[in-house]
Amino acid sequence: MQHEMCTAKGIFWLIFLCVLFVIVISEEISVHDKYCEYKNIEKFYECLKLGVTETTWTTFIKCSKEITMSSEPRGYQKFFCESLHEGTVRLWYACLMEILKASEINEFFKFSEKCLFE
């Protein structure tokens, strides 16, 4: 049996995440830093919820519940910004990747960035 990361889909996701990482670290203020400093996090999540498809938003909530992340915007922010949750954040991303199509994940990150920099 072939390991999942050795499949074409696995390789695509690995490349996609590497490109996303390079984009994020190459910005003067990274998306992660901007998110962690964001004061009106409720506004951010409302913007994100209105911008993405219902399927994408439902998957975000489903994956958050699977790893027992808080269901409140401040709880999300605290979870993603504290380094002690890095392993669980990887599980959350893996959950998103298992359920969503590449276009939906791209849409999610596009709207995340849009909502942060408005």
Burial class (CB in 10 A: 0-12, 13-18, 19+), 109: middle
Q: Which tens digit of pLDDT belongs to each residue from 78-96? A: 888 886 677 788 888 888 8
Is position 69 within any domain? yes
Please name the residues in contact with 51: beta carbons below 8 A apart, sequence gap of 6 or more.
111, 114, 115
Is position 49 within any domain? yes
Q: For the chain, what is the domain count?
A: 1
Q: What are phi and psi of 14, to 5 degrees?
A: -65, -45
Cβ-contact 114, 81 below 8 angstroms = no
Instruction: Write the single-letter amino acid at 105.
Output: I
- CA–CA distance, 110 with 10 (Å, rounded to integer): 21
Enclosing domain of residue 69? 30-117
Q: What value does the mean pLDDT of the chain take?
A: 78
Q: What pLDDT shows up at residue 1?
A: 46
